[in-house]
A = this chain, B = another copy of it.
Amino acid sequence: MENVAHLRNILESHSLRITDCRKNVLQFFLNRESALSQSDLENAFTQYDRVTLYRTLNSFLASGIIHKIPNSRGVATYGLCRDTCSPNHHDDNHIHFKCNHCGEIQCLDDQLIPEVTMPKGYLMETVNMIVDGVCAKCS
């Protein structure tokens, strides 16, 4: 359970207005260790319109509160950014884990993506790494 001041603080520091929807969604992210999709939010917050949740996710994404996690299913999933992330500089160089059993996607904050080199002429900007398998809860 996060206290409200903390939630306000996070939103404020990312230049976002404090609204019920944002506070609730943010709390939901903070209480979860797994990544969330829009439909997860729709199920959890029937009091808010789909579009509102869609735009809430977008505002979190643009302000650097959450990051998008690439995946093979055609559904966008989002994970909380670390404290050290900012809108302009993301610090999400950790591995993502997708459990093939429970379906959850987790940020493995302590497993950093190893350095890699690109062929000549390629300019590297962002690196994502996704491991599929069975998570600790399911194994």
Give chain A's interface residues, CB within 8 Å of chain B. 68-72, 74-76, 95, 97, 100, 108, 110-111, 113-136, 139
Contact = CB atoms under 8 A, between A and B. Distances in A.
Contacts of A95: 116
Task: Count identical subunits in the complex.
Answer: 2
Please provide the 6 A-B residue pairs with the shortest distance between their CB atoms, ordered closest to farther: A121-B136, A125-B133, A123-B134, A126-B132, A70-B70, A114-B114
Contacts of A131: 116, 118, 122, 124-128
B122 A97 contact: yes
Contact of A125 (B71, B100, B108, B114): B100
Nearest to A68: B72
A121 B139 contact: yes
Contacts of A69: 72
A139 B39 CA distance: 38
Given A74-B74, A113-B129, 10 more contacts: A69-B72, A70-B130, A108-B122, A111-B119, A118-B133, A122-B131, A127-B129, A128-B128, A128-B132, A129-B130
